[in-house]
Homo-oligomer: A and B are copies of this chain.
Amino acid sequence: MSDHETTVRRHWACAEARDWRGYAATLATDVVYEAPQTRERIRGREALVAYMSAYPGDWHVPVATVVAGGSGAVSRVDALVGAEEMTGICFFEMGEDGLIRSMQDWWPQPYDLPPEREGSSERY
Contacts and interface: CB of A to CB of B under 8 A. Distances in A.
Contact of A111 (B37, B89, B122): B37
A70 B69 CA distance: 8
Interface string A101-118: 000001111111100110
A2 B71 CA distance: 13
Report, as a range, how many residues of chain A touch the other chain: 35 or more
A109 B39 contact: no
Given A67-B91, A69-B2, A113-B38, A51 B121 contact: yes
Interface of A: 2, 5, 34-43, 51, 54, 56, 65, 67-70, 72-74, 76, 87, 89, 91, 106-113, 116-117, 120-124
